[in-house]
Amino acid sequence: MDKKFFMLEKCLLFNGIKTEDIEASLHYLGFSIKNYKKDEIILLAGNKMARLGIILAGQVDIDKEDALGNRSIVTQIWPGEIFAEAIVCAAEASPVTVVAATDAKVIFLSIQMLLTGDEEVPAFCARLVSNLLKILSYKNIELNRKIEYLSLRTIREKILAYLLAQHKSTGKNPFTIPFDRNQLAAYLCVDRSAMSRELGRMRDEKIVKFKKNLFTLNKKILLE
């Protein structure tokens, strides 16, 4: 198997598929690979797309921009994760913009033949489809989590909800977050300076300590 495909074995889409079948399915799905420079746009909001993408290397942001130009980060994705699967399955225009947050390598796959269910298809396809179902379900739940943050009324609540979730998912207490301040504000959809002010207050009240991307939540907060 080609070296550059090794990481696909860890990709949820190919979970349960034999190593030798992975490359076969790539060819079956008419793959192509493309490189992007940092900040290059991979998919612009409003466009349709016929193929889903899998990040092979680098980091990619899923963004949304409002009429006033406020950029908000919907989510980040990493090597092994896929994007555009929903708009391919639904044949709709993308509600989001996909941007390379660093230099990135992406592989694209046509999955039309998996969607109709009436053609004669190779054996591994059933597994691909059920993996796709699972991925879409996880993303659904992820979007619900995002909505949870955004539906909170104050910046402090949003920050706390995010930090608690981050603490929980890492299982550590001094823990790092994958955002710098600008990005965190964009993710929580609040003003950066207002967020910074609130973070300062929370530090004064000893709710949280932080230095760059390393955060420590007060133990009393964690007891709830």
Partner DNA sequence: AAGAAGTTGTTGCATTTGCAACGGAGGATA
Partner DNA sequence: TATCCTCCGTTGCAAATGCAACAACTTCTT
Residue 90 touches which of DNA, a second copy, none (CB < 5 to 8 A by kind)?
a second copy
Q: Choose, by CB under 7 A, the member of 27, 118, 120, 212 that binds DNA.
A: 212
Token readout for 131 is: 């993996």
Of 100, 101, 128, 95, which Cα lies nearest the Cα of 114?
128
Closest CA to 58 of 131, 111, 107, 96: 107
- Binding residue (CB under 8 A) for a second copy from 40, 157, 180, 205: 157
**Angle between the 155-170 and 192-204 helix axes, to the nearest 10 degrees?**
70
Considering only residues 39 to 68 of the shown chain, the ones binding a second copy according to CB under 8 A are 64, 66-68
Classified as helix, coil or strand, 173 is: coil
Q: How far is CA 179 from the centre of its chain?
A: 13
Single out the segment in contact with a second copy by CB under 8 A; choices: 35-43, 151-159, 171-179, 213-221.
Answer: 151-159
| Chain position carrying tokens 């495909």 | 5
Q: Which long-range contacts (CB under 8 A, 24 or more apart) does 148-153 make?
A: 149/188, 150/188, 150/189
In this complex, which beta carbon is closest to DNA, that of residue 61 or of residue 198?
A: 198
Residues 195 to 214: which contact a second copy by CB under 8 A? Answer: none
Binding flags for DNA, 62-91, as an x/- string (CB under 7 A): ------x-x---------------------
Strand partners of residue 34: 106
Element (H, E) at 201: helix 192-204
* Contacting positions for a second copy (CB under 8 A): 64, 66-68, 70, 72, 74, 85-90, 92, 95-96, 114-118, 126-127, 129-130, 132-134, 136-141, 143-148, 150-153, 157, 189, 191
* Contacting positions for DNA (CB under 7 A): 68, 70, 153-156, 180-182, 189-200, 210, 212-213
